[in-house]
């Protein structure tokens, strides 16, 4: 079993380059199912969620060729199978995008219910409401989302989302591009990856208007053609390293970012006394003085992202004074708090609110990553803590961070991957 071992207390100095965005890549790759011809996708992050979604496409019959470390060619002209394998689909959230893409292209899909981080209930009723409004029959049975369009082609529909949902917005967009007529999504999500998916589809010949606002209009077209597209940089990966500098101190240039996407994170760090300088495609983050307390509430974009909530909590653990953190998207995103307490943090949670009383110093401890961003937060806390922290269950972190150890070592962090005997295997032998 692999763990990250971190000797904390070293400020970070140097440059980190951000990879392509996980939550854009995992939607754009299945979107290739809608295209007639070869899609060349650039700036793909090397993370396990991407490996899995590419593997699923190959299982369906797509021809996937690696061009270089960050570029793949995907040709979905010869899809022979529309049943998505359970063992692959259940490991990631993004497998839900296969429903919209397969339904849009072939009028039929059977996709296992998706996995992803355990954040409390993660229903997909809004996705289903959208497909039904476009003429599909959708049924969840035997662990599968079974969707079929009588007549084989979806027709445009008008969908008002009951809540702002990233997944439902993107899935309905995927279903709508080849539908007959106009699809309108109201109360749509506005995250950067929504705009990126729309830009990808439009560059292949789709007609999507309004992505990035709360009303998206999709005029169906007959076919999409191949082309080349480069995925946007990862807002959350960048924010995670910004939080790492805030917690550990130092001076780091974080490059290959879209600074506008980081405004919501930058604003909070500045309130906390961190110096953030915005450049064309980089941000320089410096922190030498104390961290000030603040309050944070997570919201859909352009609010403070829920996927940065555990990482900002790690910084607030070290602030002077008491901060209030409110989770505005998920029912249960504080499962990591006990791990922080092992490092000496003072946090009380009541429902969606965490009250964090800052301490002058965290202390290293063995901890576990209970999900992707909680794992990143453990690493941040470990970088700032006195002594050694070992972070287990790092497969969660590898779902969304390319070469975390290499990137942090490159700015002077004392972090390495270690292999320890698997406890279960040990007890079976014993
Ligand atoms: C692969 C991916 O991109 N994952 C992201 C996506 O997840 P995901 O697409 O699952 O999240 P949503 O934006 O859909 O969920 C937002 C809220 O709406 C609720 N909801 C959603 C859909 C639905 O049909 N019914 C319903 O009730 C959810 O329970 C949640 O409370 O957006 C989340 C919110 O930014 C991020 O934390 C995840 O990293
Ligand atoms: C919750 C996340 O991912 P997923 O929806 O893929 O589980 C995340 O990226 O923080």
- The answer to whether 127 touches 168, Cβ cutoff 8 Å, is yes
Known active-site residue 117: yes
> Active site residue: 117, 264, 317, 370, which one?
117
Collapsing DSSP states into helix, strand and coil, what is residue 81? coil
Joined together, the tokens standing for residue 126 give 């809004």
**What is the rounded distance in angstroms from the CA atom of residue 65 to the CA atom of residue 320?**
51
* Element of type H or E holding 225: strand 224-230
Share in percent of the chain as helix, strand, coil (round to 5): 35, 30, 35
Q: Are residues 14 and 122 in the same domain?
A: no
**What is the rounded distance in angstroms from the CA atom of residue 425 to the CA atom of residue 418?**
17
* Element of type H or E holding 374: helix 372-384
Tell me the CATH number at 136. Answer: 3.65.10.10
**What is the rounded distance in angstroms from the CA atom of residue 117 to the CA atom of residue 96?**
14
Please give the pLDDT value at position 429: 39
Q: Are residues 266 and 316 in the same domain?
A: yes
Decide whether any atom of ligand 1 lies within 6 Å of the 197 Cβ: no
Q: Are residues 282 and 411 in the same domain?
A: yes
| 54-60 own/partner pairs: CB under 8 Å, 24+ apart | 54/29, 55/88, 56/30, 56/84, 56/85, 56/88, 56/89, 56/95, 56/98, 57/29, 57/30, 57/32, 57/33, 59/84, 59/85, 59/88, 60/33, 60/84
The domain total for the chain is 2
Ligand 1, atom 37: nearest CA belongs to which residue? 307
ipTM over 0.90: yes
Decide whether any atom of ligand 1 lies within 6 Å of the 127 Cβ: yes
Please give the pLDDT value at position 358: 98
Q: Are residues 26 and 148 in the same domain?
A: yes
Q: Are residues 358 and 416 in the same domain?
A: yes
Q: Are residues 214 and 247 in the same domain?
A: no
Tell whether the torsion through CA atoms of 165, 110, 50 and 225 is positive or negative.
negative
Q: Which residues of the chain have pLDDT under 70?
A: 423-430
Q: Are residues 170 and 253 in the same domain?
A: no
Q: Are residues 225 and 281 in the same domain?
A: no
Rg for the chain (alpha carbons), in Å? 22
Burial (CB count within 10 angstroms: exposed 0-12, middle 13-18, buried 19+), residue 284: middle
Please give the pLDDT value at position 424: 54
Tell which atom from ligand 2 comes closest to the C-alpha of 307.
10
Decide whether any atom of ligand 1 lies within 6 Å of the 152 Cβ: no
Please give the pLDDT value at position 430: 32
Q: List pocket residues of ligand 2, CB cut-off 6 Å.
A: 22-23, 93-94, 116-117, 307, 372-373, 400
Joined together, the tokens standing for residue 246 give 């805030």
**What is the rounded distance in angstroms from the CA atom of residue 200 to the CA atom of residue 198?**
5
| 28, 127, 166, 197 from 171: Cα distances, Å | 11, 7, 9, 10
Tell which atom from ligand 2 comes closest to the C-alpha of 117.
7
Examine the fold and report which residue of 167, 195, 230 is the final residue of a domain before the chain moves on.
230
Q: Are residues 205 and 248 in the same domain?
A: no
Residue 249 has, within 13 A of its CA and on its CB side, a CA count of: 13
| 234, 235, 253, 326, 427 from 306: Cα distances, Å | 14, 12, 24, 10, 38
**What is the rounded distance in angstroms from the CA atom of residue 228 to the CA atom of residue 204?**
8
Residue 288 has, within 13 A of its CA and on its CB side, a CA count of: 2
Residue 359 has, within 13 A of its CA and on its CB side, a CA count of: 17
CB atoms closer than 10 angstroms to residue 162: 11
Planar angle of CA 182, 186, 191, nearest 5 degrees: 110
Tell which atom from ligand 2 comes closest to the C-alpha of 400.
9
pLDDT 10s digits, 77-107? 989 887 888 989 989 999 999 999 999 999 9
Please give the pLDDT value at position 409: 98
Name the DSSP letter for residue 430: -
Q: Are residues 120 and 28 in the same domain?
A: yes
Q: Nearest CA to 177 among 113, 97, 95? A: 97
Examine the fold and report which residue of 230, 249, 275 is the final residue of a domain before the chain moves on.
230
Q: Strand order of the sheet with strand 224-230? A: 63-68, 71-75, 35-42, 224-230
Examine the fold and report which residue of 186, 206, 230 is the final residue of a domain before the chain moves on.
230
Give the ligand whose atoms come closest to the C-alpha of residue 239.
2
The range of the structural domain enclosing residue 340 comes to 2-19+234-429
- The answer to whether 190 touches 166, Cβ cutoff 8 Å, is no
Q: Where are the alpha helices (DSSP H) in 65-188?
A: 86-89, 97-106, 125-133, 166-176
- The answer to whether 34 touches 223, Cβ cutoff 8 Å, is no
Q: Are residues 7 and 130 in the same domain?
A: no
Q: Are residues 183 and 316 in the same domain?
A: no
């Amino acid at each position: 079993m692999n763990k990250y071992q971190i000797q904390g207390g070293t400020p970070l100095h140097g440059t980190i380059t951000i990879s392509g965005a996980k939550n854009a890549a995992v939607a754009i790759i299945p979107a290739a199912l809608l295209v007639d011809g070869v899609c060349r996708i650039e700036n793909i992050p090397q993370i396990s969620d991407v490996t899995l979604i590419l593997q699923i496409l190959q299982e369906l019959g797509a021809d996937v060729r690696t061009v270089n470390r960050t570029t793949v060619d995907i040709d979905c002209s010869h899809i022979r199978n529309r049943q998505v394998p359970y063992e692959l689909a259940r490991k990631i959230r993004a497998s839900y995008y296969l429903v919209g893409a397969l339904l849009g292209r072939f009028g039929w899909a059977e996709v296992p219910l998706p996995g992803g981080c355990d954040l409390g209930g993660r229903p997909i009723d809004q996705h289903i409401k959208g497909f039904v409004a476009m003429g599909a029959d959708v049924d969840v049975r035997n662990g599968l989302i079974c969707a079929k369009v009588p007549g084989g082609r979806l027709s445009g529909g008008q969908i008002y989302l009951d809540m702002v949902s990233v997944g439902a917005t993107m899935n309905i967009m995927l279903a709508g591009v080849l539908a007959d007529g106009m699809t309108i999504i109201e109360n749509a999500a506005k995250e950067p990856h929504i705009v990126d998916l729309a830009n990808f589809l439009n560059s292949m010949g789709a007609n999507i208007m309004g992505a990035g606002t709360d009303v998206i209009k999709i005029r169906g077209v007959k076919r999409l053609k191949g082309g080349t597209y480069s995925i946007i940089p990862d807002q959350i990966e960048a924010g995670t390293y910004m939080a790492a500098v805030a917690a550990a101190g130092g001076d780091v240039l974080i490059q290959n970012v879209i600074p506008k996407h980081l405004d919501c994170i930058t604003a909070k760090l500045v309130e906390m006394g961190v110096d953030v300088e915005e450049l064309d495609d980089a941000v320089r983050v410096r922190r030498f003085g104390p961290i000030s307390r603040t309050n944070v509430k997570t919201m859909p974009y352009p609010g403070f992202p829920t996927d940065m909530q555990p990482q900002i909590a790690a910084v607030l653990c070290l602030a002077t004074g008491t901060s209030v953190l409110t989770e505005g998207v998920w029912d249960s995103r504080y499962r990591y708090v006990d791990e922080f307490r092992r490092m000496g943090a003072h946090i009380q949670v009541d429902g969606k609110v965490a009250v964090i009383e800052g301490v002058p110093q965290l202390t290293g401890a063995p901890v576990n990553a209970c999900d992707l961003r909680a794992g990143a937060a453990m690493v941040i806390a470990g970088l700032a803590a006195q002594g050694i922290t070992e972070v287990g269950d790092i497969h969660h972190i590898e779902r969304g961070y390319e070469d975390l150890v290499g990137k942090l070592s490159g700015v002077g962090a004392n972090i390495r991957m270690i292999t320890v005997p698997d406890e279960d295997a040990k007890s079976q032998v014993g």
